[in-house]
C-alpha cells in the first residue's frame, strides 16, 4: 500500500516512485498488473495529478511501468530476458485461468505438477 508522508524531506513524487519500485521488486506487484490512473491515485492520496504523473513518467523511463494508450498503465516485466519471458508467461497463464474460472489453488497445483514433470 503506497502512502505519502507529507512531513518527509523526500518529495511526494519520489516517495511514490520508490515505494512502487519496492512493491515490484518484492513481487507484491507483478508484471501485467494494471495500476491506477493518475487521477485515481492522486485522489486516493490527496496529491496533485501532476505529482503522480511525474512519478509515472519516471517509472516508465526506468522500465517499471508501460503505458498502453487508452488501456492504461501496467507493471512491466523486470529482470533479464529469461525472467521477463517467464513473467509474461505467468501473466498470460493467470489471465487464462481467471477467464476459465479455475480456483487459485487448483491453478497453482497445475503449475507445480508441470514443473515436477
| Domain that includes residue 39, residue range | 12-75
- 19 and 65 share a domain? yes
For 73, the 3-state DSSP assignment is: strand
Number of Cα atoms under 13 Å in the Cβ half of residue 115: 8
How far is Cα 33 from Cα 35, in angstroms, rounded to an integer? 6
Q: What is the chain's pLDDT, residue by residue, as a tens digit (117 residues)?
A: 789 999 999 999 999 999 999 998 888 998 889 999 999 999 999 999 999 999 999 999 888 899 888 889 999 887 666 677 788 889 899 999 999 999 999 999 999 999 998
Per the listing, cell 504523473 goes with 53
Residue 2, in any domain of the structure: no
- 106 and 57 share a domain? no
- Domain count for the chain, please give it: 2
Per the listing, cell 498503465 goes with 73
- 38 and 56 share a domain? yes
Task: Give the pLDDT score at 44.
Answer: 96
Task: Give the pLDDT score at 79.
Answer: 66
- 32 and 87 share a domain? no
- 18 and 67 share a domain? yes
Domain harbouring 67, CATH code: 1.10.10.10
Residue 22, in any domain of the structure: yes
Task: Give the pLDDT score at 80.
Answer: 61
Residue 70, in any domain of the structure: yes
How far is Cα 28 from Cα 41, in angstroms, rounded to an integer? 17
The reply to whether the predicted model has a pTM over 0.75 is no
Amino acid at each position: 500500500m503506497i502512502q505519502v508522508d507529507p512531513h518527509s524531506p523526500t518529495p511526494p513524487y519520489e516517495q511514490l516512485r520508490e515505494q512502487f519500485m519496492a512493491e515490484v521488486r518484492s513481487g507484491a506487484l507483478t508484471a501485467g498488473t494494471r495500476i491506477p490512473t493518475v487521477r485515481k491515485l492522486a485522489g486516493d492520496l490527496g496529491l496533485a495529478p501532476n505529482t503522480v504523473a511525474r512519478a509515472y513518467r519516471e517509472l516508465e523511463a526506468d522500465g517499471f511501468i508501460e503505458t498502453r494508450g487508452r488501456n492504461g498503465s501496467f507493471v512491466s516485466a523486470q529482470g533479464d530476458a529469461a525472467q521477463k519471458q517467464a513473467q509474461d508467461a505467468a501473466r498470460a497463464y493467470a489471465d487464462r485461468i481467471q477467464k476459465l474460472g479455475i480456483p487459485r489453488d487448483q491453478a497453482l497445483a497445475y503449475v507445480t505438477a508441470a514443473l515436477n514433470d
